[in-house]
A and B are shown apart, each in its own frame.
Chain A
Amino acid sequence: MNVVVCVKQVPDTTARKEFLPDNRINRAAVENVINPFDEYAIEEALRLKESQGGSVTILTMGPPSAEDSIRKALAMGADSGVLVTDPALEGSDAWSTALVLSRALARLDYDLVMTGMESTDARTGLVPAALAEQLKLASLTYASRVEIADGKVRVNRQIPGGYQEVEAVYPAVVSVVKGVNEPRYPSLKGIMAAKRKEIQKLGFSDLDLPADSAGKTGEKAKAVEVTPRPEKPAGEVIRPDSPEAAAGAIADFLQAHKFI
């Protein structure tokens, strides 16, 4: 079971984000980490490798600094990494990201492609399905459980109020939800050891794509404006004289806001 995990490097979710004049996040101004949702995909891929044999390859598109995220994934136990990096790819939207990843995947041997359900920066959640479309493979999204049996991949697909059981012959693209597993923590010693593993680098010219298919010139969706979320108003502090008065105040609050 050879699994390629598509990983995105994103700004640390706790960092205050700045935006460039073209409304893209200024990634150089913040600390960047592995997309937290992708860590679940990496862990799931490693578990499949441990139960089924095979290998785990990490595929990332991003700036040269995205190599750090591949190194962390290698330290978790992935076998190899591929970084697609080129200034021409800067500003790619979800569709062209999927297009670029699909061309890189054409150079790799895989049975499954795994991703997190979305990235914590753009949050489009489009890339897994767009990737499956580009690859002409089944798309199994929002998986909360992944099993391999009889040449098929079967997932519990999270839906409101429960889950569907969905299966497909593999190769297929599977995106996983948060909580599908508990990602392992790579120690610094493991991260250091991962330096011995090779990371293959690909540029735009390696992908045999038209010049206007990715980057700013290839975007189909454009962020035209970014508006910060309004600051939350300060809360109201009530200081009742007795527990009974406190209970009454809470009940009044809940009733006024139609919670009860």
Chain B
Amino acid sequence: MSPEEFIRRHTRLQHPPLVPEVSLYLADDIMRLWELLGDESDGDNPGIPFWGSAWVGGQALARYIIEHPDEVAGKSVFDLATGSGLCAIAASRTGAASVTAADIDTLATCAAQLNAAANAAAIDVHRRDMLALPPPEVDVILAGDVCYEEEMSRQILPWLREARRLGVHVLIGDPGRHYFPREIMSPLGAYDVPTTWEVEGVEIKRTGVYTLGGTDDQDGRH
């Protein structure tokens, strides 16, 4: 089964609760989707459907972009670990001059492309490990909900700090994940994101939007 067939068969177009103006191919039952994927995992498909749910950090960041179009309008934007492509779509719909997005997962890049098409958003999606490369030469980098795992946070945060050092405006959405270094972030806004007990252990998750602040000599690790 091709990635597109898999996504169309096991998900349906839905509206993330905090970003209802966007439609995404999302799973009704993310655990069931995870089980289905596990049977087909390989090098190109890690078997984890991060793209099948609109995580609260991504929703908050997308909402913030839509409510603050000046952050991206007329600018070149890159969405890191794009997953469903929600943040990239929000940037495209809000007037970004160009939007690129990347993920290491074949299914995620396919889902992001399908979602971009469903929202008539012009997004250039790549399957690429961006953390192995220098930060792209863009005006804005988006990172929705990327600090949920220790190792990933350890890799991403220096990369984002390097981007900031190069003059890139970095926007991050995060619900207070354990590995999120809040002490080096400047808050821009916060949203109460509807979610489920299954996904977050609560029905409403307060989720912040931040830009990298503080000093560059902090390593950002807990």
Contact = CB atoms under 8 A, between A and B. Distances in A.
Nearest to B57: A189
B50 A184 contact: no
A124 interface: no
Given A77-B178, A184-B178, A193 B149 contact: yes
B137 to A, nearest CB: 29
Interface string B190-217: 0000000011110000000000000000
Nearest to A46: B178
Contact of B46 (A189, A194, A196): A196
A185 interface: yes
Interface in A39-79: 50, 77
Contacts of B25: none
Contacts of B30: 188
Nearest to A79: B150
A187 interface: yes
A192 B201 contact: no
Contacts of A185: 201
Contact of A77 (B145, B150, B175): B150
B136 to A, nearest CB: 24
The secondary structure that dominates the A interface is helix
B152 interface: yes
B198 A190 contact: no
A195 interface: yes
Nearest to A185: B201
Contacts of A187: 148, 175, 177, 199-201
B87 to A, nearest CB: 15
- The bracket for how many chain B residues form the interface is 20 to 34
The secondary structure that dominates the B interface is loop
A195 B35 CA distance: 12
B165 interface: no
Given A189-B148, A190-B148, A190-B149, A195 B47 contact: yes
A50 B221 CA distance: 9
B61 to A, nearest CB: 15
A241 to B, nearest CB: 43
Contacts of B131: none
Nearest to B30: A188
B81 to A, nearest CB: 11
Interface string B171-198: 0000101100000000000000000001
A189 B222 contact: no
B55 interface: yes
Given A77-B178, A195-B48, A189 B152 contact: no
A190 B177 contact: yes
Contacts of B178: 77, 184, 190
Given A50-B222, A77-B178, A187-B177, A193 B152 contact: yes
A245 B30 CA distance: 57
A186 to B, nearest CB: 8
A184 B199 CA distance: 15
A77 B147 CA distance: 12
B48 to A, nearest CB: 5
A188 B149 contact: no
B145 A189 contact: yes
Contacts of B152: 193
Given A188-B200, A190-B177, A196-B46, 12 more contacts: A185-B201, A187-B175, A188-B53, A188-B199, A189-B50, A189-B145, A190-B148, A192-B48, A193-B148, A193-B152, A195-B46, A195-B48
13 contacts: A184-B178, A187-B175, A187-B200, A188-B198, A189-B55, A189-B148, A189-B199, A190-B148, A190-B177, A192-B50, A193-B152, A194-B149, A195-B38
Closest 3 CB pairs of A and B: A193-B149, A189-B148, A188-B199
